[in-house]
Structure 1
């Protein structure tokens, strides 16, 4: 896979367009906290968002709830435990 992560500015634009708080963005991206989200958008030690984390967030934004549930069901069939809160 060839992957270039979005810039911090692009991620900030997404946050602004959605009108989400840092905590809501963290939930959307499957992150532990708003602080974790902010590490992608600013500060002295900016991190790059991984392809899998970005894919997860974009899937939640773009796919139907039914499709998301099909994926979660497949994960559960493999033994995972997962429940998502609405973004």
Structure 2
């Protein structure tokens, strides 16, 4: 379980955890990231917070969504959604 920092929103901290997992190869390029439901279960957060985490990763160009399939790790050269 994560130790929450008081000076940073949970969704920012979880996004950082997922980016670290991407960097260390836990989630390679084009692999599925945890779903909202899985994030809720793992981190004990609300659905809205989980949605915000995935949105943040997409905005930063770290992830992309395939409708009906989920959110996946983007290649470093993939443009951010906007």
Structure showing the higher helix proportion among its residues: 1
- Which structure: larger Rg? 1
TM-score by length of 2: 0.30
Q: Which has the higher contact order (CA 8 A, sep 6+)?
A: 2
